[in-house]
Amino acid sequence: MMRGTNTTRILVGFICILSAFAIDQLTKAVIVEIVMQPPRVIYVTSFLNITLSYNQGISFGLFSDFLRDRLTLVIWMTVALVMVLLVMVLLVWMIFSHRVVTTAALGLMTGGALGNVFDRAQRGKVTDFIDLHAGSWHWPTFNIADVAIVGGAIILILCSHRSTSSLI
Protein backbone atom coordinates (compact mmCIF):
# COMPACT_ATOMS: atom_id res chain seq x y z
CA MET A 1 0.00 0.00 0.00
CA MET A 2 1.16 3.49 -0.76
CA ARG A 3 2.32 5.64 2.10
CA GLY A 4 2.25 9.39 1.68
CA THR A 5 3.61 12.33 3.57
CA ASN A 6 1.47 13.61 6.41
CA THR A 7 0.43 16.63 4.36
CA THR A 8 -0.49 14.54 1.32
CA ARG A 9 -2.50 12.04 3.35
CA ILE A 10 -4.38 14.71 5.26
CA LEU A 11 -5.07 16.64 2.05
CA VAL A 12 -6.43 13.48 0.38
CA GLY A 13 -8.59 12.81 3.43
CA PHE A 14 -10.07 16.31 3.47
CA ILE A 15 -10.66 16.24 -0.29
CA CYS A 16 -12.59 12.98 0.21
CA ILE A 17 -14.59 14.52 3.08
CA LEU A 18 -15.48 17.61 1.07
CA SER A 19 -16.26 15.62 -2.08
CA ALA A 20 -18.53 13.11 -0.34
CA PHE A 21 -20.33 15.88 1.56
CA ALA A 22 -20.73 18.18 -1.46
CA ILE A 23 -21.89 15.46 -3.86
CA ASP A 24 -24.35 14.17 -1.25
CA GLN A 25 -25.83 17.61 -0.57
CA LEU A 26 -25.94 18.51 -4.27
CA THR A 27 -27.73 15.28 -5.26
CA LYS A 28 -30.24 15.68 -2.41
CA ALA A 29 -30.99 19.27 -3.46
CA VAL A 30 -31.39 18.31 -7.13
CA ILE A 31 -33.66 15.37 -6.29
CA VAL A 32 -35.87 17.35 -3.87
CA GLU A 33 -36.05 20.66 -5.74
CA ILE A 34 -35.97 19.58 -9.40
CA VAL A 35 -36.31 15.87 -10.16
CA MET A 36 -39.09 15.06 -7.72
CA GLN A 37 -41.35 17.98 -8.66
CA PRO A 38 -43.94 16.49 -8.57
CA PRO A 39 -42.98 13.53 -6.32
CA ARG A 40 -43.15 10.20 -8.16
CA VAL A 41 -41.30 6.93 -8.69
CA ILE A 42 -38.80 7.08 -11.56
CA TYR A 43 -38.00 3.64 -12.98
CA VAL A 44 -34.33 3.62 -14.03
CA THR A 45 -33.69 -0.11 -14.52
CA SER A 46 -35.34 -3.37 -13.55
CA PHE A 47 -33.51 -3.15 -10.20
CA LEU A 48 -33.22 0.61 -9.55
CA ASN A 49 -35.77 3.35 -8.96
CA ILE A 50 -35.45 6.96 -7.87
CA THR A 51 -37.94 7.37 -5.03
CA LEU A 52 -37.98 10.31 -2.63
CA SER A 53 -38.29 9.33 1.02
CA TYR A 54 -37.26 10.73 4.36
CA ASN A 55 -35.55 8.64 7.02
CA GLN A 56 -36.61 9.68 10.51
CA GLY A 57 -34.97 6.66 12.10
CA ILE A 58 -31.37 5.67 12.47
CA SER A 59 -29.40 4.00 9.64
CA PHE A 60 -31.57 2.59 6.85
CA GLY A 61 -34.72 3.70 8.71
CA LEU A 62 -34.17 1.44 11.72
CA PHE A 63 -36.49 2.29 14.61
CA SER A 64 -38.21 5.07 12.62
CA ASP A 65 -41.68 4.13 13.91
CA PHE A 66 -40.43 3.82 17.47
CA LEU A 67 -38.55 7.12 17.31
CA ARG A 68 -41.37 8.98 15.57
CA ASP A 69 -43.91 7.91 18.18
CA ARG A 70 -41.79 8.15 21.33
CA LEU A 71 -39.02 10.56 20.49
CA THR A 72 -38.10 13.02 23.20
CA LEU A 73 -35.56 15.78 23.27
CA VAL A 74 -33.25 13.63 25.40
CA ILE A 75 -33.25 10.81 22.84
CA TRP A 76 -32.63 13.25 19.96
CA MET A 77 -29.78 14.87 21.85
CA THR A 78 -28.27 11.46 22.60
CA VAL A 79 -28.51 10.38 18.95
CA ALA A 80 -26.98 13.69 17.82
CA LEU A 81 -24.15 13.36 20.34
CA VAL A 82 -23.38 9.81 19.21
CA MET A 83 -23.33 10.92 15.56
CA VAL A 84 -20.98 13.83 16.30
CA LEU A 85 -18.70 11.58 18.39
CA LEU A 86 -18.59 9.03 15.56
CA VAL A 87 -17.60 11.74 13.08
CA MET A 88 -14.90 12.94 15.48
CA VAL A 89 -13.51 9.41 15.92
CA LEU A 90 -13.39 8.93 12.13
CA LEU A 91 -11.70 12.30 11.70
CA VAL A 92 -9.02 11.59 14.33
CA TRP A 93 -8.46 8.08 12.91
CA MET A 94 -8.11 9.62 9.43
CA ILE A 95 -5.56 12.20 10.57
CA PHE A 96 -3.39 9.62 12.33
CA SER A 97 -3.65 6.83 9.73
CA HIS A 98 -0.45 5.85 7.94
CA ARG A 99 -1.70 5.07 4.44
CA VAL A 100 -3.24 7.23 1.76
CA VAL A 101 -5.89 4.63 0.89
CA THR A 102 -6.93 4.34 4.53
CA THR A 103 -7.09 8.11 4.85
CA ALA A 104 -9.22 8.31 1.70
CA ALA A 105 -11.58 5.57 2.95
CA LEU A 106 -11.98 7.28 6.32
CA GLY A 107 -12.48 10.61 4.53
CA LEU A 108 -15.32 9.11 2.50
CA MET A 109 -16.92 7.70 5.63
CA THR A 110 -16.55 11.01 7.48
CA GLY A 111 -17.93 13.06 4.58
CA GLY A 112 -20.90 10.71 4.23
CA ALA A 113 -21.59 10.81 7.96
CA LEU A 114 -21.39 14.61 7.93
CA GLY A 115 -23.84 14.71 5.01
CA ASN A 116 -26.41 12.74 6.95
CA VAL A 117 -25.75 14.61 10.21
CA PHE A 118 -26.21 17.91 8.34
CA ASP A 119 -29.47 16.65 6.83
CA ARG A 120 -30.77 15.55 10.21
CA ALA A 121 -29.77 18.86 11.84
CA GLN A 122 -31.27 20.92 9.02
CA ARG A 123 -34.49 18.97 8.38
CA GLY A 124 -34.87 16.61 11.34
CA LYS A 125 -34.68 13.70 8.90
CA VAL A 126 -32.38 12.35 6.19
CA THR A 127 -33.32 12.62 2.52
CA ASP A 128 -33.07 9.27 0.69
CA PHE A 129 -33.79 8.57 -2.96
CA ILE A 130 -31.93 5.48 -4.27
CA ASP A 131 -34.24 2.45 -4.29
CA LEU A 132 -32.55 -0.87 -5.14
CA HIS A 133 -34.83 -3.85 -5.50
CA ALA A 134 -35.12 -7.40 -6.76
CA GLY A 135 -38.68 -8.04 -7.84
CA SER A 136 -40.90 -6.94 -4.98
CA TRP A 137 -38.08 -7.04 -2.39
CA HIS A 138 -36.69 -3.54 -1.77
CA TRP A 139 -33.49 -2.62 0.05
CA PRO A 140 -34.11 0.36 2.36
CA THR A 141 -33.89 3.57 0.32
CA PHE A 142 -30.53 5.32 0.69
CA ASN A 143 -28.49 8.29 -0.56
CA ILE A 144 -24.98 9.24 -1.74
CA ALA A 145 -23.79 9.77 1.85
CA ASP A 146 -24.68 6.14 2.57
CA VAL A 147 -22.79 5.07 -0.56
CA ALA A 148 -19.70 6.97 0.65
CA ILE A 149 -19.94 5.42 4.13
CA VAL A 150 -20.36 1.87 2.84
CA GLY A 151 -17.76 2.37 0.09
CA GLY A 152 -15.22 3.66 2.61
CA ALA A 153 -15.94 0.73 4.92
CA ILE A 154 -15.47 -1.75 2.06
CA ILE A 155 -12.15 -0.13 1.15
CA LEU A 156 -11.01 -0.41 4.80
CA ILE A 157 -11.99 -4.09 4.91
CA LEU A 158 -10.23 -4.86 1.62
CA CYS A 159 -7.09 -3.05 2.76
CA SER A 160 -7.04 -4.88 6.07
CA HIS A 161 -7.29 -8.24 4.29
CA ARG A 162 -4.58 -7.32 1.78
CA SER A 163 -2.04 -6.38 4.40
CA THR A 164 -2.60 -7.94 7.78
CA SER A 165 1.04 -7.52 8.71
CA SER A 166 0.85 -3.74 9.18
CA LEU A 167 -1.58 -1.25 10.58
CA ILE A 168 -4.34 0.07 8.33
SS3 string, 54-80, reads EECCCHHHCCHHHHHHHCCHHHHHHHH
Whole-angstrom distance, CA of residue 132 vs CA of residue 123: 24
Quick check: helix, strand or coil at residue 51? strand
Give pLDDT, residue 35.
Answer: 96
Q: Is residue 70 part of a domain?
A: yes
Q: Is residue 158 part of a domain?
A: yes
Indicate which residue of 24, 119, 128, 131 is catalytic. Answer: 128
Taking 3-state DSSP, the helix, strand and coil percentages for the chain, each rounded to the nearest 5, stand at 65, 15, 20
Whole-angstrom distance, CA of residue 104 vs CA of residue 152: 8
Domain residues for the domain of 21 are: 6-162
Indicate which residue of 24, 119, 131, 146 is catalytic. Answer: 146
Please confirm, yes or no, whether 65 is among the known catalytic residues: no
Please confirm, yes or no, whether 128 is among the known catalytic residues: yes
How many separate domains does the chain show?
Answer: 1
Strand partners, 131: 49
Q: List the pLDDT tens digit at each of the 168 positions of the chain.
A: 455 578 888 999 999 999 999 999 999 999 999 999 999 999 999 999 999 999 876 554 455 555 555 555 666 677 778 878 888 898 898 888 889 999 999 999 999 999 998 998 888 889 999 999 998 999 999 999 999 999 999 999 998 876 554 544
Q: Is residue 1 part of a domain?
A: no
Q: Is residue 119 part of a domain?
A: yes
Q: Is residue 125 part of a domain?
A: yes
Q: Is residue 135 part of a domain?
A: yes
Q: Is residue 168 part of a domain?
A: no
C-alpha distances in angstroms, 156 versus 20, 53, 161?
16, 29, 9
Q: Is residue 87 part of a domain?
A: yes
C-alpha 41: how far from its chain's center?
22
Whole-angstrom distance, CA of residue 160 vs CA of residue 67: 36
